[in-house]
Amino acid sequence: MKKTLLTALCTTPFLLFAQNQMKELPVPKAIDVKVSAEHLRVTDNEIPLGHMPGSSVFEQKTKKDKNYSSVLLGKTYYDLQTNSSPGRRIVLHPDGTISAVWTASPDAGTGYPNRGTGYNFFDGSTWLTDRDNSIETAGRTGWPSIMLLDDGRERILAHEAGTGGFIATTNSAKGSTDFTSVGPILDDETEVNVNRVPIWNRSVASNGKIHTIANYWVSEDANVPLVIINGVASPTTYSRWDVAGDTADISHSILPGFDSTRYESGAGDRYAIDSRDSIVAILIGGLGEPVSLWKSTDNGTSWTYTDVDSIPFKGPRKNQELILSGDTVNTNDGSLDVMIDANGDVHAFYGRGRILGGLDQSGDSSFFFFPAQTALMHWKEGDREPKIAGTAFDQNGNGELDINAETFQFLDANNNVPNNLLSAARTGSTSLVTMPSASVDAEGNLFVVYSAPVEEAVHFLNANFRDIFVSYSTDGGATWNGPQNITKRGTAECNFPCVAKVTNDFLHLIWQEDATPGTHLQNHSASAGTHPNDVSYINYAAVPVTDILNNVVGTELTNVNEGDFGKDAEVFVVSQNQPNPFTSSSEVIIYLRDASQLTLTVTDLLGNIVNTGDLGILTRGNHTVTIDASTLSAGMYFYTIASEKNSITKRMQVN
């Protein structure tokens, strides 16, 4: 990040962010964020070559543009697939078939009472259809992990948030939709504390065992007490389930060295797990916490610890020592992935974060974080320090990332940040470049996909849309090449990427896509209507490995294929009219990617045109259009805003 940005950040008021004494250093809303690309080398562009110590030479590829059509796996109104790390949501089976899961809700009911696991399967030629409902036979579940058991069955573990523990749902063979659910298992009901609520599992299967890591939920309102073990609040625990005996042989154990000398607290989804034969790898991080690796070579019986990315200030003493240091510290943003390659070596990936010590309004020690961090980090066993493996793309070629402040700050109807909201387009405290998911092919080529905002792809609320990017390494992670933009939607939010751990001729990717940056669950303001509870789409794409390795996936947002929303690269975005219902007039916000001539048409329920008008040629950017209903009778109407290539229709109510 440029020094000028740091100065600007430090001179703005502090904004309360979240629990655990963590605050955000907001960026001034009046200017675009200028993030230095000093850690990149861009081909055919004159950008300085500066590298961070120990980082690889990192090239942006700007050659041939290519976009990959996606397959719709299912729909969901519950649009938060993870708090930080993607987890294990897609599996490429040895015979080339594929299974995928996600958190799904077929409706937008209060509290999402029908929430559960969405499941789809590719049999080698087609995917299943109509897969929007939960596979669990009872309960309200979420955060699924999918595994192929040694006997050919599939098992999905998803948490039961109300009472804790995990619903185990199993079919008779991979691809079968005849599921049976049992549980909750691993619910940690002990005589010491019957109210412990472990949720947010990450699970993998190998050698007849299921390996699970999870975190404890705490809620005063729900009478769920805080769990503290080894001085760590809400710690991350490890469990091992014996498939043949259908019982736990290790239940919610604390990994050796996971204590207050390293960690102050745990948090949901700030961890990752992988297994290969008898090797198990667990990665734990968190904003302001170290990145720690535990590796077992005996199927989870014993563990060795490695400090992947240490920070000088750890545990409960961190806040006070940060203040005394007076310095900013690089850390991780809590979005992580871990992968074991064919040689048994562990690879760790995480989004880079940055923090600063300070005092909150009451004078208590705390720490603040910088939201506009743009580096994805990689570490391999034997490395002295992590390297940069990914970043956002400099779309306009000016040597900086021009990302609107609304991308990571929330604006209400008065263009202020609401007190009860975090941001318009960021998931929790994650950075701009975040949510890595890694894969490896038979030749040892490494791939990592991740989420990042896109320059010049802006929603009408001035937040940048996200796309899914990929970087690759052909030398075991010593050097990385990228980024390349896989999704290239430009006018839709692509987030929560996950790839199968094994790559064949294709990189197998799923992600969530919808029409608004951010999520309804985290980023919606009811007063401003910033993120309505609309349907989201779970998409799948198979990206040819040869295209990635030959750098032809591309980065530009030109020649975008038609996506799930029926829009092309020139499409505009139209908001819901506000107020609605209304009596005399209502306003609609329009965002244009390019200058266009627009018309406004109002029709009744029978399709009769009751009002039409020529809006003229509007320039690129945001515009406000007023709908005059003074001559309309009370009732339901539709308004359509159209250009030569596109049209968008929405419903309105006149009182």
Question: What are the DSSP E strand ranges found in 51-94?
Answer: 58-60, 71-76, 90-92
Q: Do 438 and 447 form a contact (C-beta atoms < 8 A)?
A: yes
How far apart, in whole angstroms, are the C-alpha atoms of residue 73 and residue 307? 39
Instruction: Tell how strand 480-485 and strand 58-60 pair up.
Output: parallel
pLDDT for res 138 = 79
The contacts of residue 517 (CB under 8 Å, 6+ apart) are 407, 424, 425, 459, 461, 463, 464, 465, 466, 493, 523, 531
Q: How many CB atoms lie within 10 A of CB 631?
A: 8
Pull the structure tokens for residue 385: 């320090």
Structural Rg of the chain based on CA atoms: 24
Please say whether the beta carbons of 439 and 476 come within 8 A.
Answer: no
Q: Check if the beta carbon of residue 269 is closer than 8 Å to that of residue 82.
A: yes
Task: State CA 8 to chain mean position distance.
Answer: 27
Question: In which residue are the tokens 């030479």 written?
Answer: 57
Residue 80, both tokens: 């938060």
The backbone torsions φ and ψ at residue 77, rounded to the nearest 5 degrees and listed phi first, read: -90, -15
| pLDDT at residue 417, rounded to an integer | 52
pLDDT score of 341: 96
Distance CA 55, CA 234 (A): 34
Q: Is 207 exposed, middle or buried (0-12, 13-18, 19+ CB in 10 A)?
A: middle
Instruction: State residue 593's pLDDT score.
Output: 61
Two structure tokens written together for 5: 């940005």
Domain ranges in the chain are 1-87+270-569, 97-268, 573-654
Rounded to the nearest 5 degrees, what angle is found at the Cα of 139, between the Cα atoms of 138 and 141?
A: 120
DSSP 398: S
Question: What kind of fold does domain 573-654 have according to CATH?
Answer: Immunoglobulin-like (2.60.40)
Name the 3-class secondary structure at 544. strand
- Listed residue (355, 493, 465, 354) closest to 404, CA to CA: 465
Sheet with strand 573-574: strands edge to edge: 573-574, 585-592, 621-628
- Residues in a beta bridge with 169: 156, 181
Residue 235: asked if its preceding bond is cis (omega within 30°), the reply is no
CB contact set of 605 (below 8 Å; sequence gap of 6+): 635, 636, 637, 638
At residue 8, what are phi and psi to the nearest 5 degrees?
Answer: -65, -40
Length of the chain: 655
Asked if 356 contacts 365 with a C-beta cutoff of 8 angstroms, the reply is: no
Q: DSSP state, 27?
A: P
Closest CA to 314 of 214, 229, 232: 232
Amino acid at 571: V
How far is the CA of 23 from the CAs of 314, 358, 429, 520, 521, in angstroms?
17, 9, 9, 22, 20
Q: How far is CA 435 from CA 235, 448, 650, in A?
A: 21, 10, 33
CB 655 within 8 A of CB 581: yes
- pTM recorded for the entire structure: 0.80
Whole-angstrom CA distances from 487 to 68, 395, 452, 459, 560 are 7, 15, 11, 17, 9
In the beta sheet, which residues pair with residue 156? 146, 169
Query: How far apart, in whole angstroms, are the C-alpha atoms of residue 238 and residue 271?
Result: 11
User: 592 forms bridges with which residues in the sheet?
Assistant: 621
- Return the pLDDT at 216: 94
Alpha-carbon distance 20 to 374, whole Å? 24
66 C-beta neighbours (distance < 10 Å), count: 17
Tokens 């209507």 identify what position?
A: 529
Kindly state the DSSP code that residue 265 receives in the 8-state scheme.
B
User: Nearest-CA neighbor of 457 among 509, 517, 498?
Assistant: 517
Instruction: Give the 3-state secondary structure of residue 405.
Output: helix
The pLDDT value given to residue 32:
36
Rounded Cα distance between 533 and 108, Å, is 7
Contact (Cβ atoms closer than 8 angstroms) between residue 168 and residue 182 = yes
CB hemisphere CA count around 501 (13 angstroms):
25
Could you tell me which residues come within 8 angstroms of residue 40 by beta carbon, excluding any fewer than 6 positions away? Answer: 47, 58, 59, 60, 391, 394
In angstroms, the CA 356 to CA 330 distance is 9
Q: Residue 571's pLDDT is what?
A: 42
Residue with tokens 């692509």: 494
- How high is the mean pLDDT in each 10-residue block of the chain (655 residues)? 24 26 46 34 24 33 57 96 96 96 95 96 93 91 97 97 91 97 87 75 97 93 88 96 96 96 93 97 96 98 96 89 87 97 97 86 78 92 94 83 77 56 69 96 97 88 89 94 90 95 96 92 74 91 92 63 31 73 86 78 89 84 82 90 81 89
